[in-house]
Amino acid sequence: MAFNIDTFKGVLPGGGARPTLFSVELTGAEYYKVPFLAKAASLPASTLGTIELSYFGRKVKVAGDRTYAEWSITIINDEDFTIRNGLENWHAKVNHASSNLRSMTNYKSDAKVHQYGKTGNKIRTYNFVGLWPSEIGAIELAWDTNDAVEEYTVTLQYDYWTVGSGAGDVMAAAQISGNDGTVMGTYGPGSGNIWGG
């Protein structure tokens, strides 16, 4: 394929999704600051296991079971410790530090991570179902740490994730042209094709 910068630009009409345009939501009134103070997160991976079957010395790989890796977010800590207090109380209800008892029968909750376009519209939402914090990370302290704000990482486990509605509906359909100007295909809403294949 000959080099053509216009062809490349044609498959990236939105200029590329930006990793800085996101927000996180945790279910619960005590987590109202999370959309503002969750400074790092990730869109989740999709993983299928592999089963190898041997046949006359050859390996045949077939799809195995789906698994969901842990999800982590990084929180900026404010002096009121609102988010961390909520997380520590959640932990204590799952398993109290001194009594070793659970005081919360249904300890799982839900969360969302939103990806935004450059116009501010939500272009994709991942919903985490059956979520709970397995680790609330340490906050490092030091006398010689100046010009910094405390932050910590929270590791969360969940049962599965789903993709919310509205994914991809921000962009208009675009035509992809070849080097000679011939239309190679139309991608986007209403075209029968999806971005990313």
pLDDT value of position 187 = 38
| Inside any domain, residue 166 | yes
pTM over 0.95: no
Query: Token match 């530090």: residue?
Result: 97
| Inside any domain, residue 90 | yes
Distance CA 89, CA 53 (A): 47
Closest CA to 128 of 166, 104, 157, 167: 157
| Inside any domain, residue 153 | yes
pLDDT value of position 105 = 86
pLDDT value of position 4 = 85
Domain that holds residue 76: 18-170
pLDDT value of position 8 = 84
Residue 28, class by beta-carbon neighbours within 10 Å (0-12 exposed, 13-18 middle, 19+ buried)? Answer: middle
| Inside any domain, residue 9 | no
Ranges of residues in the chain with a pLDDT under 70 are 1-2, 165-197
- Please answer whether residues 71 and 42 qualify as being in contact, where contact means their C-beta atoms are separated by less than 8 angstroms: yes
For the chain, the maximum distance between any two Cα atoms, rounded to a whole number of angstroms, is: 74
Token digits for 9?
């630009």
Nearest-5° Cα angle at 36, 32 to 42: 105
pLDDT value of position 177 = 43
| Inside any domain, residue 190 | no
| Inside any domain, residue 178 | no
The pLDDT tens digits of the residues spanning 60-104 come to 999 999 999 999 999 999 999 999 999 999 999 999 988 988 888
Token digits for 77?
């800590």
Nearest-5° Cα angle at 101, 100 to 104: 140
DSSP tag of 131:
E
pLDDT value of position 184 = 43
CB atoms within 10 A of CB 161: 21
* Main-chain dihedrals φ then ψ at residue 89, nearest 5 degrees: -65, -35
Question: Per the structure, how many domains does the chain have?
Answer: 1
Alpha-carbon distance values, 141 to 15, 56, 138, 192 (Å): 40, 60, 9, 54
CATH number where 30 lies: 2.30.110
* Main-chain dihedrals φ then ψ at residue 126, nearest 5 degrees: -105, 130
- Please answer whether residues 130 and 160 qualify as being in contact, where contact means their C-beta atoms are separated by less than 8 angstroms: yes
| Inside any domain, residue 182 | no
| Inside any domain, residue 191 | no
